[in-house]
Amino acid sequence: MQRIATAEPQFSIVTIETTQYSRGFFERFGFVVERVVPGGFAPGFDLIEMELDLSWYRFGVSREKIGLD
């Protein structure tokens, strides 16, 4: 993500759609859940919309350091 944040300054937010099974993986990189649609992909597969604010990477600040997580 650091490489994307510095190489593509015109982008400020990354939005993804994933399932509940990989949600934790993306949370480790700073993505936060914006929306959950139960069964949004298929029965048993919730649609989880997540966003990452690239400014955290650009300024070298983690959400944990400033008490947001």
Q: Tell whether 64 is covered by a domain.
A: no
pLDDT for residue 9: 76
Spans in the chain with pLDDT lower than 70 = 1-7, 58-69
Q: How many CB atoms lie within 10 A of CB 30?
A: 20
Structurally, how many domains does the chain consist of? Answer: 1
Q: If phi over 0 gives left and psi between -120 and 50 gives alpha, with beta otherwise, what is residue 8?
A: beta
Q: Tell whether 32 is covered by a domain.
A: yes
pLDDT for residue 29: 85
Q: Tell whether 13 is covered by a domain.
A: yes
Tens digits of residue pLDDT in 32-50: 999 999 999 999 999 999 9
Residue type, 12: S
- DSSP letter at 31? -
Q: Tell whether 6 is covered by a domain.
A: yes
Phi, psi (degrees; rounded to nearest 5) at 64: -65, -40
Q: Tell whether 14 is covered by a domain.
A: yes
The whole domain housing 38 covers 2-58
